[in-house]
Amino acid sequence: MKTPLFIAVLAIDERYISRALEKYYQGVLSHRGSPSGTDYLEKIIQVPYRVRPIIASNLEEYLRSQIIIQDNGMGRAKFSEFSRQEFNLVLECCKQVDLSPRTLKRLINVYKLFKVVCRTRGNKPSHLVQKAIIALFALSGRYTHLMRSIFNDMETCFEENRTSKKARENLQTLHLETYVRDFFKHCKLSDRDKYLEHEFQKLKHDALYTTILPSKLTLQEVTYEIFNLIRSFSFVGEVGYSEDS
């Protein structure tokens, strides 16, 4: 930083770089040891700055810089514009779910495309379904690994056409008449990694102890078509994917 010649700026994802270093220098660097891959980077980077979730006081201003709000509030103009109702849904959801600027921008972009597809298919989701769509997009952006399991349970219910009667007959808990929120009540964590346990508890808090998801909306009311669109636009990997496979 002292030289007037130049300043080198590195924009990296520390997780990938540190893991690659620990693999390349296996036996010297270890993930939970000293030195680690992070220690190696610390010797190179003099002034670190980590991109953090947008704080609540700046959230509305950031969203307004990314979204055009329709004056008529009808939601029928350009797909890139949001009705005031849609804007408020995104704002209230993102106040509850911590998203980085990049993840929030992705949520806005995919929701714009989502509206295009719905419009071309003549499908206009209700207010409650819109609320669920935005919440599921936000949760899949924030808890990518964990939401894969939630989506897997939902998809299974649709594929099996699992009504409440079929669920009782097969001793299943979840079915098409289950409220969307309840899928988060019954989700379980298979990997006992401490970081994932911490994230798992935060996911359940955001889904169950905030108002981002409608309390009385069933999976069947969301419809298989809307669910498939949510899955298509969610960056969580293919349902059924496993890191061990």
The structure tokens listed for 208 are: 């169950």
C-alpha triplet 94, 97, 103: angle, nearest 5°: 75
* Confidence class for position 240, pLDDT limits 50, 70, 90: low
Q: Is the pLDDT of residue 245 over 70?
A: no
CB neighbour list of residue 222: distance below 8 Å, 6 or more residues apart: 129, 132, 180
Give the pair of three-digit tokens for residue 63: 């969203």
Q: What confidence category does residue 221 fall into, taking pLDDT thresholds of 50, 70 and 90?
A: very high
pLDDT over 60 at 243, yes or no = no
Q: How many Å separate Cα 45 from the centre of its chain?
A: 30
Structure confidence by residue, pLDDT tens digits, 169-181: 999 999 999 999 9
* 161 dihedral zone (left: phi>0; alpha: psi -120 to 50; beta): left
